[in-house]
Chain A
């Protein structure tokens, strides 16, 4: 599965469009991570636990998007965009979407 965030896959020809595919996940913070982050919060800077959590969630959202594209018979996703939004205090949605296509 080739994934890009430009309209094409350079050097390859798109032969078929399957429309939009998307994957998302909603994650809440973990109490353990939250305690550590609470301390780091006082001094500011990066919250490593959360960085990792969001990284994992984003990979999961992308996996779901890829699965959807595979079901359609696509072998690439172009024009991928990400979105993050706070659903409630302490829980966020991670979204990934793009256009599923078949390359020659």
Chain B
């Protein structure tokens, strides 16, 4: 009984701490996205005139994330019935936005005007092991070509 009680307290604590971290992260993402609105990152590559380009170079941003213990349990439960696993959706969404922001920040620090041909990549680094209660890790990678235009 004591064991079960401890487990419930533990999972509840993890849930609230995880939720708090997520809320803080979303707030910071929104602020940084606003600050970098002047620097468009686009998937296309014919958005500039070749003659106007001063410099082009590769930039990338990467982030490694894992889901929390509560979310993993929830996901395990949902997987039984099928359907959307919103716990993971929000995690992947915010980590991809973080990777995109890091790429933009790297481009902005060298004076880029835009990032073209942006590619996203998601890969599993560690599968996670339910028997050892690990959740698995993902890497979000974003890369593209930063373009600096000549002064007109």
Contacts and interface: CB of A to CB of B under 8 A. Distances in A.
Interface residues of B, number: 48
A47 B124 contact: no
Interface string B50-78: 11111011101011111111010000000
A63 to B, nearest CB: 13
Given A10-B53, A45-B22, A4 B58 contact: yes
A44 B91 contact: yes
Contacts, number: 122
Contacts of A46: 63-65, 95, 98
Interface string B112-152: 00001101010111110100001101010101110100000
Contact of A5 (B134, B137, B144): B144
Contacts of B7: none
Nearest to B99: A51
B108 interface: no
Interface stretch (A14-22, A67-75, A83-91): A83-91
25 contacts: A2-B56, A5-B58, A5-B117, A5-B119, A10-B48, A10-B50, A11-B50, A11-B53, A11-B54, A41-B66, A41-B137, A44-B21, A44-B22, A44-B91, A46-B64, A46-B98, A47-B137, A58-B60, A80-B58, A81-B119, A84-B123, A84-B139, A86-B123, A92-B123, A92-B139
Contacts of B53: 10-11
Contacts of A11: 50-54, 56
User: From DSSP, what is the main secondary structure of chain B's interface residues?
Assistant: strand
A73 B144 CA distance: 24
Interface size range of chain A in the complex: 35 or more
A43 B71 CA distance: 9
Contacts of A86: 123-127
Contact of B68 (A5, A29, A45): A45
A83 B133 CA distance: 28
- Name which of B58, B63, B116 has the most chain A CB atoms within 10 A of its CB: B58
Contact of B125 (A58, A82, A84): A84
A89 B137 CA distance: 11
